Amino acid sequence: MKLPPYAQTLGVTVEMVADVPEIVMPFGQHVVGRPGFLQGGAIAGLLEVAAIAALRHALSGEGARIKPINATVDFMRGGRDHVTRAAGEITRLGSRVATVTATAWQDDRARPIASARMNYLIERPSTERSVT
């Protein structure tokens, strides 16, 4: 699965859990904010990677391109010095626009550290139609 270039900067990996891509980000100096905690931008980036992974998984084989429209991130608690996981859930998949909710957690998925709502423009390959 092709992820955005900054996914490599975050050091994330993709694990398939029950046929859903789950993004795993290790803790390290590259994602530190204040001592012992994740930087907010790293958390937001992780959420975006999770949303993109969910969309790419749903659109696999279509050759569609996705472009972000907007994103709203809610930070619920500080991310500590642990492995952080995130997964996206598509709440609407239209012909041109998709809405994805992504959630990040550490020890317990039921206690998220952040969530995001993101909208994406979907550019599907055009099919040539003959006009008669």
1 lies in some domain: no
38 lies in some domain: yes
Predicted confidence band of residue 131 (pLDDT cuts 50, 70, 90):
low
Query: Region 25-43: what's the mean pLDDT?
Result: 91
Q: What is the pTM of this model?
A: 0.90
93 pLDDT above the threshold of 90: yes
Q: How far apart are CA 109 and CA 22, in angstroms?
A: 12
87 lies in some domain: yes
Cβ atoms 114, 104 nearer than 8 A = yes
73 pLDDT above the threshold of 90: yes
In three-state secondary structure terms, 24 is: strand
| DSSP result, 64-123 | -EEEEEEEEEEE-S--BSS-EEEEEEEEEE-SSEEEEEEEEESS-TTS-SEEEEEEEEEE
pLDDT at 63 (0 to 100) = 85
Q: How far apart are CA 124 and CA 132, in angstroms?
A: 24
Predicted confidence band of residue 127 (pLDDT cuts 50, 70, 90):
low
129 pLDDT above the threshold of 50: no
Domain that holds residue 105: 6-123
130 lies in some domain: no
pLDDT at 94 (0 to 100) = 93
Q: How far apart are CA 20 and CA 80, in angstroms?
A: 25
Number of separate domains in the chain: 1
128 lies in some domain: no
110 lies in some domain: yes
Q: What is the CATH number of the domain that holds 44?
A: 3.10.129.10
Predicted confidence band of residue 92 (pLDDT cuts 50, 70, 90):
very high
DSSP structural state of residue 36: T
Query: Region 94-98: what's the mean pLDDT?
Result: 94
Report the mean per-residue pLDDT for the chain: 91
Joined together, the tokens standing for residue 33 give 């904010």
